[in-house]
Every structure is written in structure tokens, then in C-alpha cells.
């Protein structure tokens, strides 16, 4: 367990230092996040004018700190790189690159949606499918659809269907985290819970290979998840309300991709909706809002404004109250997911 702890510790320190440096540097150069005052349906957004001038693209520090923590941990003897985790890093860096381009265009144009806004969905979907193909071709990943392990329930729909499934998992999870990133510290805090859970899941798979034989090199996955948990914790030092820096799309897309890939490689994709409960709630609110609005001929809305965190802000909740209550929901959702996972583990361990 030394390597995961080392990865997390290095990531925390570097994330705190790196995020602070980025916040000061970007603020000095005027690289701030444009603040949206109206949504697509011309509904006035909660007043966030006080955030004007806050730097963005802090996700670079998250990814950089996690990568450094991951690499440093491999100095220890016995900690080896796995092909699956290396593919995950390719996926994370690729999605982060798309996010960086969009963030840069937003800052340069001074518009909240950037130039890629109308195309980013198709670009990220195509990339997600491509990454799923890469994961299938390069690694020995188990392609069964599963809840807590490959054999449970172990649905096998074939490689083509799995690629589509995996691509949609990566695409939807990356965008769900991106949608959640609308209040100070909300997305990073929720991601921290999920990465901590995946650290435990991967480590349990490492310690019990007879129960989880389909998980490839789970110790390396443990190190990866721990590094990202540490990086998120360090980023929160500066991103907690009132935020000194935002993670931007570069961070949100990277975190969502990392979480989706962990779900795929630990055979827990059906558990992802609970592990990422708050993210599912957020992106679900956007989908419901759009459906109701269009079905009613653009006359009715289910929420005052979506994503749902803005609905509560619009109703008078202070931003910090929304954040803390949503963190509590995220924590309870992750706890429920882990209860399901440990219940199955206990059942399997007793049956040995």
C-alpha cells in the first residue's frame, strides 16, 4: 500500500503548489473564465459576476500533479506499469487536450462557450469511441458488462457492442463531470470521493485475484486512482469557495475520462451511476430540462435553470450551501455503491 500512498502524497503537494502558481500566473496575464449571465433559453443565471477575473484551466495542475505522483510511485521496486493504465493516461491526456483547446478559445474570445462549443460533443464522442477501440486492441480487458466484477452479471454482447458501450461511458462521464463543474469545488470534491472509492476497489482486486481475475494489474490502477484523489484534494485548496481558480474543461474532461476508464478496467461500469451519483443527477437535469422545454414548444421548463445546482441557487440557496449539500449527496451515493461492492466481495470471500 506504500506506492498508492506515495502517489497520493506527491500529487497533493504538487497540486497545491502547482495550482497556486497557476492561479497567480494566469491572473497576472488576464487568463480568466468568461462568466455566463444567461443560459441557452435566455434565462438569467444566478449572479456570479463576482467571479469575473477568476483564472481558468487549473485542470492542468490536477493532471500534471496526478501524473507526477503516478510516475514517482513507480520508483519503488515491484510497482510496474500496466498496458491498461498507460492507455488510460493516453485517454486522459487526449481529452484534456480537447478541453484545453476549448478553454483557450473561450479565454481568447471572451465568450463562455468558446468556438468549439457546437462541435465539441461530436469531437469528444468520436475520441471516446476511438479510445475504447484502443483499450480493446492493446490490452486484455474483459468485455463483459458488469456491476462489481466481470462475472456479475457478466453480460457479453460481443466486442463491437462493447466498444460502443465503452465509448458512450467515456463520453457521458466526461460530459457529466463537465456539467457538474459550475460551482466552486463541486466537481473536484465529488471526483475526490469517486477516486477514493476506486482506490479501494482496485486495491481489493489486487489483494484478492481469485475473486477478481479479470482485473489486469489492479495495483497499478490503485496507484492511478490514488494519484488523482490526491491531485483533486490539492486542487480543492485553491478551488474551494470562493475559488481562486477554476479547473476548466481541461480538468473536467480529464477527470471524467479517468473515472470512466477506471470503471471499465475494474469491471464496475454498472456501478458508475452510483459512484458518480451527483454527476448523473447534474447531467440528467440538463437532459430533462431540454426534453420538457422542447416538448412544450419552448414554453415550459422543469427547473428554474439547469444544471440543477443553478436551480437551487436561483431559489435562494447560497452557493456554499448548494456545494456542501451536493457533496453530502455525492458522499452518500458513493457509500451506497461501496456497500454494494463490499457486500458482493464478502459473499464471494465466504464462499471460497
pLDDT digits (tens, 9 = 90+) for 145-167: 999 999 999 899 999 999 999 99
Query: Which pLDDT band holds residue 41 (cuts at 50, 70, 90)?
Result: very low
Q: Taking a C-beta distance cutoff of 8 angstroms, is the pair 35, 52 a contact?
A: yes
What is the phi/psi pair of residue 32, to 5°?
-110, 160
**DSSP symbols for 136-149:** HHHS-----EEEEE
Task: Classify 80 as helix, strand or coil.
Answer: coil
Residue 293 lies in a domain: no
Q: At what angle do helices 186-207 and 218-239 cross, to 10 degrees?
A: 160
Residue 302 lies in a domain: no
Answer yes or no: is pLDDT of 329 > 70.
yes
Q: Taking a C-beta distance cutoff of 8 angstroms, is the pair 36, 112 a contact?
A: yes
Spatial separation of the C-alpha atoms in residues 20 and 237, rounded to whole Å: 9
Residue 306 lies in a domain: no
Q: What pLDDT is attached to residue 21?
A: 95
Q: What pLDDT is attached to residue 117?
A: 56
If one counts the domains in the chain, the total is 1
Q: What pLDDT is attached to residue 160?
A: 96
Q: What pLDDT is attached to residue 178?
A: 94
Q: Which residues contact 328 (CB under 8 A, 6 or more apart)?
A: none
For the entire predicted model, the pTM comes to 0.92
Q: pLDDT exceeding 90 applies to what percent of the chain?
A: 72
Query: Which pLDDT band holds residue 60 (cuts at 50, 70, 90)?
Result: very high
Q: What pLDDT is attached to residue 33?
A: 63
Query: Which pLDDT band holds residue 108 (cuts at 50, 70, 90)?
Result: confident
Answer yes or no: is pLDDT of 18 > 50.
yes
Residue 220 lies in a domain: yes
For 222-243, the pLDDT digits (tens) are 999 999 999 999 999 999 989 9
Answer yes or no: is pLDDT of 43 > 80.
no
If you average pLDDT over every residue of the chain, what do you get? 90
Answer yes or no: is pLDDT of 268 > 90.
yes
Decide which of 212 and 293 is more confident: 212
Residue 188 lies in a domain: yes
Q: At what angle do helices 83-109 and 159-180 cross, to 10 degrees?
A: 40
Answer yes or no: is pLDDT of 42 > 60.
no
Domain hosting residue 236, numbered range: 2-270
Residue 252 lies in a domain: yes
Answer yes or no: is pLDDT of 8 > 90.
yes
For 273-285, the pLDDT digits (tens) are 999 999 999 999 9
How big is the CA angle at 282 (ends 238 and 102), to the nearest 5 degrees? 60
Answer yes or no: is pLDDT of 40 > 50.
no
Decide which of 171 and 78 is more confident: 171
Residue 295 lies in a domain: no
Q: Determine how many CB atoms are found less than 10 A away from the CB of residue 351.
A: 7
Residue 219 lies in a domain: yes
Least reliable range by pLDDT among 113-117, 124-128, 306-310 = 113-117
Amino acid at each position: 500500500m506504500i506506492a498508492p500512498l506515495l502517489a497520493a502524497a506527491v500529487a497533493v503537494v504538487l497540486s497545491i503548489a502547482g495550482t497556486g502558481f497557476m492561479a497567480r500566473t494566469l491572473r497576472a496575464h488576464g487568463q480568466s473564465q468568461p462568466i455566463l449571465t444567461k443560459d441557452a433559453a435566455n434565462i438569467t443565471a444566478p449572479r456570479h459576476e463576482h467571479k469575473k477575473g477568476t483564472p481558468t484551466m487549473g485542470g492542468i495542475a490536477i493532471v500534471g500533479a496526478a501524473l507526477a505522483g503516478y510516475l514517482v510511485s513507480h520508483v519503488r521496486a515491484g510497482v510496474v506499469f500496466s498496458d491498461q493504465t498507460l492507455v488510460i493516461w493516453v485517454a486522459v491526456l487526449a481529452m484534456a487536450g480537447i478541453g484545453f483547446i476549448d478553454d483557450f478559445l473561450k479565454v481568447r474570445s471572451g465568450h463562455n462557450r468558446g468556438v468549439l462549443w457546437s462541435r465539441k460533443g461530436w469531437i469528444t464522442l468520436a475520441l471516446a469511441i476511438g479510445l475504447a477501440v484502443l483499450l480493446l486492441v492493446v490490452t486484455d480487458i474483459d468485455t463483459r458488462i458488469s456491476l462489481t466484477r466481470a462475472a456479475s452479471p457478466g453480460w457479453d454482447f460481443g466486442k463491437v457492442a462493447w466498444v460502443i458501450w465503452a465509448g458512450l461511458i467515456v463520453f457521458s462521464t466526461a460530459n457529466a463531470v463537465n456539467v457538474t463543474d459550475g460551482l466552486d469545488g463541486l466537481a473536484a470534491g465529488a471526483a475526490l470521493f469517486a477516486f477514493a472509492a476506486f482506490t479501494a476497489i482496485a486495491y481489493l482486486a489486487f489483494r484478492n485475484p481469485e475473486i477478481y481475475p479479470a482485473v489486469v494489474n489492479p495495483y497499478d490502477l490503485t496507484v492511478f486512482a490514488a494519484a488523482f484523489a490526491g491531485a483533486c484534494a490539492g486542487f480543492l485548496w485553491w478551488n474551494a469557495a470562493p475559488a481562486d481558480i477554476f479547473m476548466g474543461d481541461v480538468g473536467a474532461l480529464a477527470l471524467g475520462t479517468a473515472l470512466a476508464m477506471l470503471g471499465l478496467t475494474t469491471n464496475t461500469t454498472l456501478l458508475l451511476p452510483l459512484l458518480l451519483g451527483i454527476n448523473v443527477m447534474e447531467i440528467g437535469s440538463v437532459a430533462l430540462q431540454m426534453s420538457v422545454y422542447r416538448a412544450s414548444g419552448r414554453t415550459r421548463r422543469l427547473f428554474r435553470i439547469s444544471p440543477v445546482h443553478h436551480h437551487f441557487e436561483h431559489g435562494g440557496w447560497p452557493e456554499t450551501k448548494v456545494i456542501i449539500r451536493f457533496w453530502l449527496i455525492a458522499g452518500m451515493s458513493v457509500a451506497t455503491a461501496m456497500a454494494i461492492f463490499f457486500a458482493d466481495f464478502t459473499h464471494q470471500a465466504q464462499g471460497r
